[in-house]
Structure 1
Amino acid sequence: MSHILDSILETVGDTPMVALHNVTKGSKHKFFAKIEYFNPGGSIKDRVAVAIIEEAEKRGDLKPGGTIVEATSGNTGVGLALAAAVKGYKCIIIMPEKMSEEKRALLRAYGAQVVITPMVEPDHPMSHYNVSKRIAAQIPGAFLANQFFNPDNVTKHYQTTGPEIWKQTDGKIDMLVGGAGTGGTLSGCAKYLKEQKKDVKIICADPVGSILYDLYYHKKIVDPPGSYKVEGIGEDMLPGNVHLDIYDGFIRVNDQEAFDMTRRLVSEEGLLVGPSSATALVGAIKASEKVEKPMNIVVVFPDSGRQYLSKAFNDRWMVDNGLLKEEQIKDAFNRVISAEDALKIYNK
């Protein structure tokens, strides 16, 4: 039985890359998406979660029966909760209140305790960063994963995601585009890819409202942090794993652009991904428009759209948040209808 894996954790990584055609039609460049929702927990953060836990075990920071505590926008929490379930750890996940109900439900399903914090400044005592530190400090034997500053985050992408991208493109990659939440993905991949090909460009797609764009171009915060609907990327503080010196540029993407592309990706490419994936693609398209020579551009798609069904794929939520017009949901084909109504529509 050599083809049977020992646990679900062994399925993490080795995700596929697919070419994009319809949403990038007309471009002289070729676009490829690294599809990370093939990981068992549904996102790229499964890689980081397993790595952080296993390295903590090796160091003795996490002992049998211990408790894992983490501040997250959701995906790392799911990865940690999944691994904790397999390995027998308790798991407490702290998230800001804007995160989707699907993420909360997933965490509860894996057995994690979910703690919701208000949307406040990162240095506020009730921010999810600070609440996680306070909870971890009060539980004997607790391990704070600390994904924003834990170097194991970057190292895992250097060891796995970067090499996978290099191999899948046969080394013919010219540009890598992704978002930055903790910064682990872009920093780790950038380090590996630039070692293989020094002129490969690393571009960060940053939501309007995030401070990372300002820190990269101005070395200071020009505009105060703003609110935005995209989850999981962009920041109101500078994580230790965001290595600005290794990136080659930032592109700003607003919520409207991100959510429009989220819907286009599933309807035109069959890719049900989250708004952070769409943000990265919009950023990649904008970056490509500044380059004359045809390029091979890889875009990181971090997670699944199944975690945003109540938001990005909910017409009412989209209308209520100013991302869709009321008249755009009048078409019966885009909503659930009764059998009686369907028969009336098609009996013409």
Structure 2
Amino acid sequence: MSHQEVIDRTIKRCHDKQIILPTIAQQIDPTLIPQQIRDELIKIDPQEVNSLNLFRITWHNDPKGGFRAVPNYVVVPPELSGCKSNVLVMLGKYFPTGAHKVGATYVMLSDMLTKGTFDPEKQQGMFPSTGNFCRGGAFNACLLGCQNVAVLPENMSEERFAWLRRHNAEIHATPGCESNVKEVFDKAKQLCAERGDKIVNFNQFELLQNYTWHYNCTGRALEKVFLDFAQGKKRLFGSFFTTGSAGSIAAADYLKFANPNKKSHANVKEVQLHTPVNCCGEAVQCPTIFSNGYGAHQIEGIGDKHIPWIFNTHSQDMVACIDDAVAMRVLRLFNEPFGKALIQKKLGWTAEQVEALNGMGISGVANMIGCIKMAKYYDGDANDVFVTVATDSCAMYMSRLVELEHQFGKYTELQAELDWECLKNVKTDYMRELSYAGRKQVHHLKYFTWVEQQGKTVEDLDAQFYERGYWEKLANYVYELDQRIVEFNTKAGVLKAKYNIQ
């Protein structure tokens, strides 16, 4: 069957199910969403399996309904972090599924649906992941009426598995934890071999649409967050992202290219503009980039022991490692009653301000710690700002808090004081600046996963590092995709029939 025949059948499917595909432009700027749809969304729960919730795949969701001009974020001030600079953490908890990975799954699905390379009637969508990506895939698959297959390590949090079961995912739990990505790849390859053309592998570590979405959506959202906070008086010094699939790291490419400092200081002619510094992160217990290391760790969702295909090593200025024990201690500090009471007492915060720290899951806490390490390493001052994201919130890790209590005992006032000091005294150990040769060395590590194991060619590998404009082309791919989405929606006719929109 030709791609066009698949497209035609999918268009009919969307017509019958009353499904409208949002453009990426609408996810970047929800004011572009037709008012009729925005009005209807107010009545729909963000987590409901309703196709209109595809329009909620954006950083701009308002917790009270509707959309915000500036994405949700938490300010981690010097009096909490122990560094002199402010750290801004943009929150993914308000996406459908409670994690931003739903955006990466959507861009892949919409791209394949509009090209006819995925048939939702006859093919299963498989989403290999260390947790949130397969949840996003399951959610979008339910909305689109597709069968979904989740492949993730068996030691991920129980909340992930419970969520997948509720959304009718076919679950394959692979050996190990978040650093056992190869085992996930091996299982995905096995399922593809067994099921042939009945299954499509949406591999977030490989499919370059992941880069496209985060460059445009996460990058621009972080820019808005910085400009909202800075008010033209501060400079964006840098960003930190743990590697994971390397999707979010694409946002760092946008920040470096767009350089929000130019907009922040647009009316100040004499200021020396600073190009943001990009730092990629991983666990001390599995320092693949830092020292070709390996191991298991507890920072769920960031993945390790390989370099993702979609990782643009060209744009990275340094690498830093986070001790997972520190991340877990800070997670408890932010979420246990004695920890929250201590923060409220020491900082004079309201209960609501303290509760906002719950918006950071384990990897979000690790990202925040990475920003603190950067601020200390570069001697950041009060005028400097460091930005990052929290993929999800602590809601996905409440079972981990129970496990930590079983392991270390009930959380006490004394432990809260110790963890407060732990956060305030984060060190600049396990940090290394990357030269051109260093960035090339990291890129070359892709060879062992992607050429030897996953079928890429050396020519493909070399193009990513040496071909001028390779990553810029991916960033601009959004315009081609949006054009196809508009044409697809026009042919499906739902906008016209339901909302009288041409």
TM over 0.5: yes
Counterpart Cα distance in 2 of 1:310 and 1:138: 35
> Which of 216, 241, 251 is matched with 1:178 structurally?
241
Give the direction of change, closer, same or farther, for the CA distance of 1:95–1:23 in structure 2 (3 Å limit). Answer: farther
Deviation at 1:10, TM superposition (A): 0.8
Q: What letter corresponds to residue 56 of structure 2 in structure 1?
A: T
C-alpha distance after superposition, 1:212-237 (max 9, x if no partner): 333xxx5xx2x3x1111121114011
| Structure 1 equivalent of residue 52 of structure 2 | 7
| Residue matched to 2:128 | 71
State percent identity of aligned pairs: 22
TM-score, structure 1 normalization? 0.84
Give secondary structure in 2 for the equivalent of 1:56. helix
Deviation at 1:67, TM superposition (A): 0.7
Note if contact 1:157-1:185 (Cα within 8 Å) is conserved in structure 2: yes
Alignment partners' CA distance in 2, 1:226 and 1:212: 9
Q: Which residue identity is paired with 2:106?
A: V
Equivalent pair of 1:178/1:205 in contact (CA under 8 Å): yes
The reply to whether residue 297 of structure 1 matches residue 386 of structure 2 is yes
What residue number does 1:158 align with?
215
Aligned match of 1:205:
281
Equivalent position of 2:443 in the other structure: none
TM-score of the pair, normalised by structure 2: 0.59
Q: Secondary structure at the match of 1:280?
A: helix
Classify 1:293/1:123 alpha carbon distance in 2 versus 1 (closer, same or farther; 3 Å): closer
Gaps of 5+ in 2: 1-34, 42-50, 61-70, 260-273, 344-353, 417-502
- Provide the rounded CA distance (Å) in 1 between the counterparts of 2:114 and 2:145: 16
Q: In the alignment, does 2:255 pair up with 1:189?
A: no
Q: How many residues align?
A: 315
Q: CA deviation at 1:83?
A: 0.3
Structure 2 residue 370 is matched with structure 1 residue 283: yes
What is the root-mean-square deviation in Å for CA atoms of aligned residues?
Answer: 2.3
1:184 aligns to what SS in structure 2? coil
Structure 1 residue 293: deviation in Å?
4.0
- Partner SS state of residue 61, structure 1: coil
The Cα offsets for residues 7-62 of structure 1, whole Å up to 9 and x where unpaired, read as 11111112412312377355320111100111111112011011111111122121
Q: Is the 8 A contact 1:52 1:152 kept in 2?
A: yes
Cα distance in structure 2, aligned partners of 1:94 and 1:252 = 26
- Which residue of the partner structure matches residue 318 of structure 1? 404
Tell me the alpha carbon deviations over residues 145-167 of structure 1, each in whole angstroms, 9 at most, x when there is no partner: 01101100011011111011112
Distance in 2, Cα, partners of 1:168 & 1:286: 21
Q: Trace 1:103-252 onto structure 2 (pairs within 5 A).
A: 103-119=160-176, 127-139=183-195, 140-170=197-227, 172-186=235-249, 188-197=250-259, 199-214=275-290, 221=292, 223=293, 225-252=294-321
Question: 1:101 & 1:259 partners in 2: Cα distance?
Answer: 17
Whole-angstrom distance in 1 between the partners of 2:203 and 2:243: 16
Distance 1:296 1:133, change over 3 A: same
> Which residue pairs with 2:28 in the alignment?
none
Rg larger for: 2
The 1:159/1:53 distance shift into structure 2, 3 A limit, reads same
Q: Distance in 2 between matches of 1:113 and 1:23?
A: 46
- 1:46 and 2:102 matched: yes
Aligned to 2:397: 308
Asked if the contact 2:285–2:324 (Cα under 8 Å) also holds between the matched residues in 1, the reply is: no
Distance in 1 (alpha carbons) for counterparts of 2:366 and 2:181: 27
After TM superposition, give the deviation of residue 123 of structure 1 in Å.
Answer: 8.8
Asked whether the equivalents of residues 211 and 237 of structure 1 are also in contact (C-alpha less than 8 Å), the reply is no
Cα distance in structure 2, aligned partners of 1:137 and 1:60: 21
CA distance in 1, matches of 2:144, 2:287: 37
Q: Is the contact between residue 96 and residue 102 of structure 2 (CA under 8 Å) also seen in structure 1?
A: yes
Does the residue aligned with 1:169 lie in a helix, a strand or coil? helix
SS of 2:96's equivalent?
Answer: coil
